[in-house]
Amino acid sequence: MNQSTPVTDLKGIGDKTGRLFQKLAISTIGDLLCHYPRDYETFGAPVPVSEAVPGQVCAVYVTVTAFPSQKKVRNLVILNVSVRDASGAMLLTFFNMPFLKKVLKPGGNYLFRGLVQSRGAARVMEQPKLYPYEDYQKQCGILQPRYSLTKGLTNQAVQKAVRQALSLYAFEEEYYPSWIPERYELISREEAFRTIHFPEDRDALSRARKRLVFDEFFDFLLTLQKNKDLAAALPNNYPMYETADTVRFLERMPFSLTRAQKMVWQELKEDLGGPHCMNRLIQGDVGSGKTIVALLALLMCVANGFQGALMAPTEVLAMQHYETITSYVEKYRLAFRPVLLVGSMTAKDKREAYGRIASGEANLIVGTHALIQEKVSYRNLALVVTDEQHRFGVRQREHLAEKGRDPHVLVMSATPIPRTLAILLYGDLHISVIDELPANRLPIKNCVVNTSYRPKAYEFIKKEVASGRQAYVICPQVEEGELEDVENVVDYTEKLRSALPADIQIASLHGRMRPADKNKIMEEFAAHHIDVLVSTTVIEVGINVPNATVMMVENAERFGLAQLHQLRGRVGRGEHQSYCIFVSAREEKETMERLEILNQSNDGFFIASEDLKLRGPGELFGVRQSGEFAFGLGDIYADAGVLKEAKEAVEEILAQDGDLSLDRHRLLREHAEKASGNGVDFRTI
């Protein structure tokens, strides 16, 4: 049994269960073993009833004192069971488990585990689990893995599948040369996999995690290094030089570039006219003005007679770039002949666009990644800009190279990554940083509040709308049901319509809408036909509506700080004073303290590092980092130490043996080939 054996080869997993696993993106044994536990639970020794503290999960070993009583409330069957031990009595309540009536006999002894609650003076457990005494004793004190599940698949079932897979799997031989595991104190991969699923204790778990995180980083960095060598060797096939076009554009623009923008523009000009193919990242906080710098490079590109492409991660953002560019073409008489390419266009429109691109009639292609990369043939594509993406992997490069000779690549990102990490993670890219905001900006005013503040917030939105501004309201989910006790866009829009005067135009936007509808709403918001937009985080990246001055985020406690900072970046983009209202439905000290960080600073780098301090490095399972550096286990912030070690190891190996051709690196070479074949490079994009 190996990596690519289908999970349905396991005993007890047929087609039906197989489909459930598929929902968790598990189709092979390899996927299953990499479905790491979400967290772990420890079963404590049973306690006397008198010591079962409300609010805690406890196990009790008790005697049933009377026949269970059953009642029906609507379609719920409720079973009440009185139990006791020498120290006291307790009531157990079960829902829709009528068969327990036959199992639990008065006078019998049973072990239950569940959340203890108090109801008046009485102690209660709702829906506790029943365990055979011996089984429980065996599991006692051991960390139990808890997996992400899907409806119909229990934790027990996943555990069983993983156990079986671990016993049948043929683990690969150690592929590192021996000094690596010795120096970095790495246990074997086999032991790491066994332990990450079924750890003996926290120490063992840390060791297992360290090995697996090290491997993730090592594979990533090894591919990166290859990339770097590849890119460095590429000649500049499309040398370009500044023309009157960009100079005139800069003169006519209503603002002048900031010092940081000017510096980056200078760097781009040097790259594009230099001896090598450009491979550059522009990092700049939200609102720092990355787009204009990219447009200058694209303008230079078309003025030199080549084609350029601008790719965005979402259709909404691609459309917005297209609109901005067309308006500039008219206003400033720019040499762009832009064409839009997004999935929601009709087949006929797409065909027409393909034709204009192939003939060279269109010289600037604006669209979503997939379309631009995969389906288009170009006349002479010389520069590719990707917005809101940090990585442009080998595969993407290959896609484009197939269509011609290697174009220059410029990627732009607002994800705050400290310089020290950026150097490790972007080894193959040159980095430019825009580290200041345009001077006309007023700092955004922030507040962190609880839900009782809502009426005031609505009053405030009303006032802003009356003076001609617009507002965003963000909810974590689309409609009721996926998450408990969390605001959703659909219901909130209705609530807001009744809370605000009827002449205020309110619309909603979320990821489940058809792309064409999303685009329409976004266009209407940009054109100010809509005053208040209730949305999920689909508007998180890139959207630029400078007239919007209020960002209200419901259930702010549900979001990572970096994400909240991105959301906040949607306002404060014009000359008007902007405001951010973070509404937290939870008022514990930690939550409020975390959110207060946003109040203290408007600097993405500072926020990311403070967030890390609060979470603490080395935390086993931190808040999942959204975004593009999502490794299976590793967290670039919390595991920065391991990242450094992996970097050191990769560099040392490649210094000894650049193409891994030595005999002692044979296994490593085979592993690396497999790893990059698996798309390590692509997955981490």
Where on the chain is the footprint of Mg ion (CB under 5 A)?
Answer: 542
| Position 291 contacts ligand ADP (CB under 6 A) | yes
Q: Is 344 exposed, middle or buried (0-12, 13-18, 19+ CB in 10 A)?
A: middle
Tokens standing for residue 43: 């079963």
| Position 440 contacts ligand ADP (CB under 6 A) | yes
User: Residue 363 or 415: which CB sits closer to Mg ion?
Assistant: 415
| Position 167 contacts ligand ADP (CB under 6 A) | no
For the segment 565-584, give every residue that binds ligand ADP (CB under 6 A): 573
Half-sphere exposure of 400 (CA within 13 A, CB side): 26
SS3 509: strand
Which residue is nearest to Mg ion, using beta carbons? 542
Q: Taking the complex as a whole, how short is the minimal distance between the CB of residue 249 and ligand ADP, in angstroms?
A: 13
DSSP-assigned letters across all residues of 370-432:
HHHHHS---S-EEEEEESS-----HHHHHHHHHTSSPPEEEEEE-----HHHHHHHTTTSEEE
Site string for ligand ADP, 516-555 (x = CB under 6 A): ----------------------------x-x---------
| Position 292 contacts ligand ADP (CB under 6 A) | yes
What is the C-alpha to C-alpha distance for residues 459 and 419, in angstroms, rounded to an integer?
A: 42
- For CA atoms 459, 465, 469, 475, give the dihedral sign: positive
| Position 313 contacts ligand ADP (CB under 6 A) | no
Q: Taking the complex as a whole, how short is the minimal distance between the CB of residue 461 and Mg ion, in angstroms?
A: 25
User: Residue 542 or 604: which CB sits closer to Mg ion?
Assistant: 542
In the list 279, 288, 415, 563, the residue contacting ligand ADP (rule: CB under 6 A) is: 288
User: Residue 231 or 317: which CB sits closer to ligand ADP?
Assistant: 317
Nearest to 313 by CA among 48, 682, 627, 642: 627
In the list 246, 261, 304, 508, the residue contacting ligand ADP (rule: CB under 6 A) is: 261
User: Residue 123 or 573: which CB sits closer to ligand ADP?
Assistant: 573
User: Residue 286 or 371: which CB sits closer to ligand ADP?
Assistant: 286
User: Residue 10 or 414: which CB sits closer to Mg ion?
Assistant: 414
256-280 exposure pattern, b = at least 16 Cβ within 10 A, e = fewer: ebbebbebbbebbbebbeeeebbbb
Is 684:678 a contact under the CB 8 Å cutoff? no
Longest CA–CA separation in the chain, Å: 95
| Position 114 contacts ligand ADP (CB under 6 A) | no
Is 519:529 a contact under the CB 8 Å cutoff? no
User: Residue 414 or 623: which CB sits closer to ligand ADP?
Assistant: 414
Is 278:410 a contact under the CB 8 Å cutoff? yes
Binding site partner of 438, from Mg ion, ligand ADP, none, Cβ cut-off 5-8 A by kind: ligand ADP
Q: Taking the complex as a whole, how short is the minimal distance between the CB of residue 267 and ligand ADP, in angstroms?
A: 16
Q: Taking the complex as a whole, how short is the minimal distance between the CB of residue 467 and ligand ADP, in angstroms?
A: 20
Nearest to 279 by CA among 314, 318, 321, 229: 229
Please enumerate in sequence order all residues whose Cβ is within 8 A of that of 600, keeping only pairs 6 or more positions apart, or say none. 610
| Position 286 contacts ligand ADP (CB under 6 A) | yes
| Position 311 contacts ligand ADP (CB under 6 A) | no
- For CA atoms 603, 605, 608, 612, give the dihedral sign: negative
Q: Taking the complex as a whole, how short is the minimal distance between the CB of residue 265 and ligand ADP, in angstroms?
A: 11
| Position 416 contacts ligand ADP (CB under 6 A) | no
Residue ranges binding ligand ADP (CB under 6 A):
255, 257-258, 261, 284, 286-292, 414, 438, 440, 544, 546, 573
